[in-house]
Structure 1
Amino acid sequence: MKNPVLACSAVVVALSAVLATPASAEVTLYGILDTYVGYTNAGGKGAQTAMQSGGLSASRVGIRGSEDLGGGIHATFDLENGILTNSGAATDPTLAFSRNAWVGLGSQYGEVRLGRQNSTLLLMHGKFDAFSGGTYGSFLHNASTFAFRYDNMITYWSPNVAGFTFSAGVSLGGKTSPHDALNAYVGSIEYQRGPLYLGVSHAEQNGANGEINTKTTFAGGSYQFGAMTWYFGYYRGNNLGSNTATNVEGKYHSVYELSAGYRFTPALRVVGGVGYAQDSSGQQNNAGEVSLGAFYSLSKRTLLYGTVERLVNRHGATYALMANGPITPNTPARGEGVTGAQIGIQHSF
């Protein structure tokens, strides 16, 4: 077997699905299979056409479950591994469960989870965007840099109180000196009432010296009016990667995106968006994107989607079209733009 970690993961998933019974626990095998063909033409690099995994949502397979412990308390767990549907490979072949591996306890007062978990920033930012934080069309996703998930995570998720929910968590860096080196702290608050949704999430990551050197914030919301839904998304972070000076206090970039979706029929939704990234480092590495897309449901579980977009970089910016799966993007030369289009299919189970 060329990949023992992936093989072990598959065996665990299969055995868990077979051996679990309603008398002991409720266990669900689930997954998302998302494959697309994408075209990008990046300035200074040229055109590329490729089949990739995870255009709208990253492909994955997992098992989740819960057990009633009595007294209103229940145990919960989730084991989830990322996969690449275009090749069949694991997203991260070094991990048995690269996306989630946690166990928790819940009650009417909320839930506490321990283990490897998705960041609340990842879970929330797609709610600010007509493209659901995926596809080439989501500039909010293309232009933001943040940790998708953390190891050694302890989180609390509140129940819904008058439309409000919140979460808070800490990822333990596991260092002895200083003891808080590489710790991460995350939190969020959301409000949902009728057609209105609002949310904000924030994360801070300590450096090896224990001092905070990365800060990330998402905020935004949506409002549904008949068949139309409007979205606004905002990002601010100093984890700037190759676009500007990396992790320098006071050197941030901000991303603004306004998008909307119109449901023509129960099956067909058409979306569009505009976004702008502003660099505060003094280098003026700004960028913008215009996107259009369509989503067509063949059933409750199977979805077709397609997008077209144009992203323009300024000065030294090198933003690219990322989609949602782990890919090596066709990154344009500094200050150059990129045109893209994609068509894909997603099936969930």
Structure 2
Amino acid sequence: MRSIFMGTLRFRTAAAVTAFAASHGVMAQSSVTLYGVADDSLTYVSNRGGHSSIAMSSGGRGSSKWGFVGTEDLGGGVSAFFRMENGFDINSGQLGNNGRLFGRQAFVGLSSPYGTIQLGRTYDLIVTYLNPNAASVRFGGGLMSHAGDADNIYGTYPISNALKFETPILAGTTFGVIYAPGGTAGSFAANSIYEVGVKGTQGNFSFAAAYSHVDNPAVTLWDSSASAVAGGSFSNPLSNRMYSGYASAKSYSVGAVSLGYALGQASIGLIVSDTRYADVVPTATTPLAGTHFLRNAEFNFLYQLTPALLLGAGADYTEGENSHYWQANSSVQYLLSKMTYVYAIAVYQRASGIDSTGKPAVANLYGQTASTSPNDIGVRVGVRHSF
């Protein structure tokens, strides 16, 4: 009897769902797509903690990842959408983004002729608006990030608990705003994030500008387990010496502008950013109190020599109060198909002055152990496949 009853229930439920879908079929069209990237490389570093090294590096040209993206037409120009995106290490199989299943992106939203709103974990406007003109995204991967990605233009740290709104494209221009409430009772600003930005295209030019402000970034953005207490111990969530000494800052802000220009087979990118670490709390791992900055300027050039061969080059300069970092970048990419290419990347970095830890500045390439000298060279060769 139970099997007959359950079979009848399933039949009626399926029939009801089919009838509902048929009655709404004109306006309810939906799709879900699985996508991903498998990227692996071999990396040589001339000075990694005092010794040269050769090691496998997942995501040499950009993170290995997979995800789902979906949309549903709700009618009247309104649609629902979602994205769930996972980052992983292709060599070990481990999850990226501090062990999160969908640590890169996880959001749902609605779009309409009046704009788009989304809720969840997402990349900030500094990333999505400016990095299309950055060498790290155009042809270099993480090794070409600005000063260890201090300004987050490469997208090392997505934002959790975010509310994001973007206008429709108006005269080639889009405006955006993000707010992530801290959820702290009695304090509206505590552990919160807010951002504003603009991007657009005019003929052969592209442009973008954005400003981001993060309260208590150690916990809010960098995944520290606890806020810093003056004079106490502090488990520093940052490892790059260019800015790890500022990890206990009470706030972190970035203002940046970018400009791109394309003509024929050639294109250029220019980015200027100012990163501020305000009111650093002195601890055992962050000895320099006060407010500190890192200013960055980047110029890059990309040329498509043949339909399959792309050449990239650029220069990057970062300045702190007492530190300076020069970086030269170059890259070659060869397309084997629409979905697969091989690449070779070379980066040279030179440091001078005193870094954020109060010690003589040393080269510290993104994702690598700091050099023991002012100079470092990174060379990476790999293959990248998209699906």
- For this structure pair, what is the TM-score category when the shorter chain's length is used for normalisation? 0.7 to 0.9
Q: Does 1:118 align with 2:162?
A: no
Tell me the distance in 2 between the aligned counterparts of 1:248 and 1:77: 41
1:259 is paired with a residue of what secondary structure?
A: strand
Which one of 213, 223, 233 corresponds to residue 251 of structure 2? 213
Partner of 2:376: 338
Following superposition, the deviation at residue 212 of structure 1 comes to 6.5
Tell me the distance in 2 between the aligned counterparts of 1:238 and 1:148: 16
Following superposition, the deviation at residue 130 of structure 1 comes to 3.5
Tell me the distance in 2 between the aligned counterparts of 1:79 and 1:257: 32
Following superposition, the deviation at residue 157 of structure 1 comes to 1.7
Give the counterpart letter for 1:302 in structure 2. Answer: T
Counting matched residue pairs gives 317
1:286 is paired with a residue of what secondary structure?
A: strand
Change (3 A) 1:122 1:245: farther
Change (3 A) 1:248 1:347: farther
Following superposition, the deviation at residue 218 of structure 1 comes to 2.3
Q: Does 1:274 align with 2:311?
A: no
Tell me the distance in 2 between the aligned counterparts of 1:194 and 1:142: 33
Could you tell me whether the CA contact under 8 Å between 1:271 and 1:294 is conserved in 2? yes
2:126 is paired with a residue of what secondary structure?
A: helix
Give the counterpart letter for 2:386 in structure 1. Answer: S
Question: Which entry has the higher C-alpha Rg, 1 or 2?
Answer: 2
Percent of pairs identical after alignment?
25
Change (3 A) 1:308 1:243: farther
**Larger relative contact order (CA 8 Å, sep ≥ 6):** 1
Could you tell me whether the CA contact under 8 Å between 2:179 and 2:195 is conserved in 1? yes
1:55 is paired with a residue of what secondary structure?
A: coil
2:374 is paired with a residue of what secondary structure?
A: coil
Could you tell me whether the CA contact under 8 Å between 1:239 and 1:246 is conserved in 2? no
Following superposition, the deviation at residue 318 of structure 1 comes to 3.8
Change (3 A) 1:248 1:345: farther
Tell me the distance in 2 between the aligned counterparts of 1:319 and 1:121: 25
Tell me the distance in 1 between the aligned counterparts of 2:180 and 2:142: 30
Could you tell me whether the CA contact under 8 Å between 2:113 and 2:168 is conserved in 1? yes
Give the counterpart letter for 1:169 in structure 2. Answer: I
For structure 1, list consecutive stretches of 5 or more residues without a partner in the other structure. Answer: 1-21
- RMSD (Å), alpha carbons: 2.7
Partner of 2:293: 252
Tell me the distance in 1 between the aligned counterparts of 2:250 and 2:165: 22
Following superposition, the deviation at residue 135 of structure 1 comes to 2.5
2:131 is paired with a residue of what secondary structure?
A: helix
Worse-matched range after superposition: 228-237 or 138-147:
138-147
Following superposition, the deviation at residue 73 of structure 1 comes to 1.0
Change (3 A) 1:244 1:139: farther
Change (3 A) 1:219 1:248: farther
Please give the residue correspondences for 1:285-324 in structure 2 after superposition, counting only pairs within 5 Å.
285-315=323-353, 316-322=360-366
Give the TM-score normalised by structure 2. 0.75
Tell me the distance in 2 between the aligned counterparts of 1:78 and 1:244: 37
Please give the residue correspondences for 1:71-86 in structure 2 after superposition, counting only pairs within 5 Å.
71-86=76-91
Describe the superposition over 1:218-262 as per-residue Cα deviations: whole angstroms up to 9, x where unpaired: 21111112222111111210249999977843x211011111011
Q: Of Structure 1 and Structure 2, which has the larger fraction of its residues in helix? A: 2
Could you tell me whether the CA contact under 8 Å between 1:64 and 1:79 is conserved in 2? yes
Following superposition, the deviation at residue 74 of structure 1 comes to 0.8
Tell me the distance in 2 between the aligned counterparts of 1:247 and 1:205: 18
Partner of 2:148: 142
Partner of 2:266: 228
Tell me the distance in 1 between the aligned counterparts of 2:147 and 2:54: 21
Give the counterpart letter for 2:300 in structure 1. Answer: S
Give the counterpart letter for 2:207 in structure 1. Answer: L
Following superposition, the deviation at residue 126 of structure 1 comes to 2.3
Give the counterpart letter for 2:313 in structure 1. Answer: G
Partner of 1:163: 172
For structure 2, list consecutive stretches of 5 or more residues without a partner in the other structure. Answer: 1-24, 217-226, 229-248, 354-359
